[in-house]
């Protein structure tokens, strides 16, 4: 199915669906965020024109050198009261990797494994409950690219 | 057993969860090479009862058979409660698995 059409369908469905569930599907709500190539374009598509504050309250753990670009372990941890957390990087064809919606009682301590096409920067953006946006980034090297592309 | 493993344990008021999903997570580039449609998990939701405790929208850039770890406060949950994880992928398929949360005092 044509990807654009698929995304369009998803968007319509969300508008009609009741907003009671707190499980937001960012993929449906902000399709442009997922096709943006550069990190700041994706951030803009997700959050609008917001000012990102570099914060040392975000612990972004990445290996310094990843031996396998197909499975790079990343951990984002923070005490900031967050609404959403987004992970991006600047080496893959599209920069957005994942967006977590932090529910009440949720904590920011997420780990996952991602694919990185090559060495580059990984960026975490936290949308705080205070309305501010915090960010932290880490440069890392990848020995073997993970997208087979 | 299903395509997903769920582990959740409560300790000191915090429930730590570890989820191992089984999915090829084919990126558009990889799919083109294999001449198939790209398909990867696009969303994963975790609930205990009807309370959402985890939600992530994901891209093609997660590793094959992705591993997720997260934690949430144990307030309000009781012994016997189960963590139910559901993922949805690009093709619209979904997969669910649930497991009783260990360690919550009776």
Does residue B65 form part of some domain? yes
CATH code (residue A129): 2.60.40.2470
Chain B: closest CA distance from residue A147 (Å): 7
On the question of pLDDT at B106 being above 90, the answer is no
pLDDT at A21: 33
B29 contacts on A by Cβ (under 8 Å): 93, 147-149
pLDDT at A24: 58
Domain count, chain B: 1
pLDDT at A2: 57
pTM above 0.90, yes or no: no
- Count helices and strands (H / E) in chain A: 3, 9
User: Given A89, A107, A112, which is nearest B73 (Cβ)?
Assistant: A107
Does residue B105 form part of some domain? no
Contact B61 A26 (CB under 8 A): no
pLDDT at A20: 31
CA neighbor of A125 nearest in space, from A51, A66, A17, A18: A51
Tens digits of pLDDT across chain A (149 residues): 555 544 444 433 333 333 333 355 777 778 888 888 899 999 999 999 999 999 999 999 999 999 999 999 999 999 999 999 999 999 998 999 999 999 988 899 999 999 999 999 999 999 999 999 999 999 999 987 655 44
Does residue B106 form part of some domain? no
Which value does ipTM take for this structure?
A: 0.91
pLDDT tens-digit readout, B56-94 = 999 999 999 999 999 999 999 999 999 999 999 999 999
Does residue A16 form part of some domain? no
Structural domain that includes position A109:
37-142
pLDDT at A106: 85
Task: Identify the closest residue of chain A to B70 by CA–CA distance.
Answer: A110
Q: How far apart are CA A63 and CA B21, in angstroms?
A: 22
CATH code (residue B64): 2.60.40.10
Domain count, chain A: 1
Does residue A82 form part of some domain? yes
Query: Burial level of B1, CB count in 10 A (0-12/13-18/19+)?
Result: exposed
Does residue A14 form part of some domain? no
User: Given B45, B61, B75, which is nearest A97 (Cβ)?
Assistant: B61
pLDDT at A22: 37
Contact A112 B67 (CB under 8 A): yes
State how far the alpha carbon of B81 is from the alpha carbons of A64, B17, B99, B102, in Å.
Answer: 39, 13, 8, 9
């Amino acid at each position: 199915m044509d990807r654009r059409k698929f995304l369009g369908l998803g968007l319509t469905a969300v508008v009609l669906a009741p907003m009671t569930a707190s499980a937001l599907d960012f993929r449906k709500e902000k399709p442009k965020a997922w096709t943006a190539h550069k990190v700041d374009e994706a951030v803009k598509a997700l959050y609008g024109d917001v000012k990102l504050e570099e914060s040392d309250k975000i612990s972004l753990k990445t290996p310094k050198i990843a031996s396998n670009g197909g499975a790079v372990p990343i951990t984002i941890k923070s005490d900031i009261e967050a609404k959403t957390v987004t992970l991006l990087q600047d080496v893959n064809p599209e920069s957005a990797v994942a967006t977590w919606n932090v529910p009440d009682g949720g904590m920011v301590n997420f780990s996952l494994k991602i694919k990185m096409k090559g060495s580059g920067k990984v960026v975490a953006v936290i949308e705080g409950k205070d309305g501010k946006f915090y960010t932290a980034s880490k440069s890392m090297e990848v020995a073997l690219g993970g997208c087979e592309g | 057993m299903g395509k997903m493993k769920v582990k959740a344990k409560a300790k000191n008021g915090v429930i730590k969860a570890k989820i191992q999903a089984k999915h090829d997570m084919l990126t558009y580039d990889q799919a083109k090479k294999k001449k198939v449609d790209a398909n990867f998990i696009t969303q994963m939701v975790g609930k205990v009862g009807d309370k959402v405790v985890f939600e992530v929208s994901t891209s093609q850039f997660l590793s094959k058979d992705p591993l997720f770890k997260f934690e949430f406060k144990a307030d309000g949950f009781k012994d016997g409660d189960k963590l139910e994880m559901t993922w949805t992928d690009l093709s619209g398929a979904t997969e669910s698995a649930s497991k009783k949360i260990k360690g919550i005092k009776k």
